[in-house]
Amino acid sequence: MYKIVKKRELNPTVTLMEVDAPFVARKAEPGQFIILRVDEEGERIPLTVADFDREKGTVTIIFQIVGGTTERLNHLNEGEYIQDFVGPLGEPSHTEGLKKVAVVGGGVGCAIAYPVAKKLHEQGAEVHSVVGFRNKDLVILEEEFSAVSNVFKMMTDDGSYGEKGLVTDALKALIEAGNSYDEVIAIGPVVMMKFVSLLTKQYGIKTVVSMNPIMIDGTGMCGCCRLTVAGKTRFACVDGPDFDGHEVDYDEILKRASTYKEFEAKEREKACNLFKKEVR
């Protein structure tokens, strides 16, 4: 059992939790993920490590409430326990040798992009961050992100905060302004990563994206998380989750991600009914 030592609502649908998990905290690196089960009957879901504190032995996760499991997880409070919490899993993000990097985060993906930006900043790289949200109410981690960025661009779809537009608009402007990046790291909705990759391909800038497909064991056993990269089947849990953005088959990933959509919606409703809460 893993104790929740801190819980903070970042926006109405996104929650941060700091969890007491010393074995995970000991080894965790940006880009890696954990798998958790909320309770005895729970499904296994992967969540990317948002932060870690090796001394305190804690790991921070940030999750969006999308289905039954995240709804149930969100219902747990500080001092309560998560049944299973295993990790760190996956390969850490490669940051060695990078001098100037554009980090692009979209929505709750910023939670994953942030630790990468932070690590790059700590190793002395010049970090240009572009973060995008649908609107002002959904903005998360603004302070944290801007604190580790040399350039920080906030974009919203409706213009209610920062600049109106897409992250690709801001990224394009930065590239056109003469910034030459060793690498672009894009983490967010699959569609966003697809369009960032299409953009950077035109400029020939190496681009790394972080994949978050459906998983079960997360340790390299079930093959559920497979995707096509450069025409080959790869497994996000052991080969990834980071892949070359120019080689990923995004359309296939989008389809596979929708496999249990109906089931998920039903489970969410069930979980909400359980907690007598309206579906937002």
Partner 1 sequence: MPNMSLKKNPMPAQEADVRNKNFYEVTFGYTAETAIDEAKRCLNCKNKPCMGGCPVRIHIPEFIQKVAEGAFEEAYHIIQQTSSLPAVCGRVCPQETQCEQKCVRGIKGEPVAIGRLERFVADWHNANSCDLPTKAEPNGHKAAVIGSGPAGLTCAGDLAKRGYDVTIFEALHLAGGVLVYGIPEFRLPKAIVQKEIDNLKALGVKVETNMVIGRVLSIDELMDEYGFEAVFIGSGAGLPRFMNIPGENLKSVYSANEFLTRVNLMKAYKDDSRTPVLHAKKVCVVGGGNVAMDAARSAKRLGAEEVTIVYRRSRAELPARAEEVEHAEEEGIVFKFLTNPTAIVEGENGMVAGMTCVEMELGEPDASGRRRPVVKEGSEFNIECDAVIMALGTSPNPLIKNTTKGLETQKWGGIIADEHGQTSREGVFAGGDAVTGAATVILAMGAGKAAAEAMDEYIRSKNQTK
**Closest CB to partner 1 among residues 14, 236:** 236
Q: How far is the CB of 232 from partner 1 (least distance, A)?
A: 8
**Closest CB to partner 1 among residues 88, 107:** 88
Q: How does strand 58-64 pair with strand 14-20?
A: antiparallel
**Closest CB to partner 1 among residues 166, 190:** 190
Q: How far is CA 17 from the centre of its chain?
A: 14
Cα–Cα dist 32/88, whole Å: 6
Cα–Cα dist 215/155, whole Å: 31
Q: How far is the CB of 255 from partner 1 (least distance, A)?
A: 4
Q: How far is the CB of 256 from partner 1 (least distance, A)?
A: 6
Q: How far is the CB of 119 from partner 1 (least distance, A)?
A: 18
Q: How far is the CB of 32 from partner 1 (least distance, A)?
A: 8
**CB-based contact 52:62 (threshold 8 Å):** no
**Closest CB to partner 1 among residues 167, 272:** 272
Provide DSSP, 191-216: HHHHHHHHHHHHHT--EEEE-----S
Residue tagged 């296994």 (tokens) = 44
Helix or strand run (H / E) with residue 169: helix 167-176
Cα–Cα dist 194/225, whole Å: 18
For partner 1, the binding residues (CB under 8 A) are 23-24, 27, 37, 41-44, 68-69, 83-89, 216-217, 219-224, 226-228, 233, 235, 238, 252, 255-256, 258-260, 263-264, 267
> Which one, of 171, 226, 188, 238, lies nearest residue 33 by Cα?
238
**Closest CB to partner 1 among residues 263, 275:** 263
Q: How far is the CB of 252 from partner 1 (least distance, A)?
A: 5
Contacts of 185 (CB under 8 A, 6+ apart): 93, 101, 102, 103, 104, 113, 116, 207, 208, 209, 210
Q: How far is the CB of 38 from partner 1 (least distance, A)?
A: 9
**Cβ count within 10 A of residue 147:** 13
What is the side-by-side order of every strand in the sheet holding 33-37? 81-82, 2-11, 14-20, 58-64, 45-53, 33-37, 84-89
**Closest CB to partner 1 among residues 184, 227:** 227
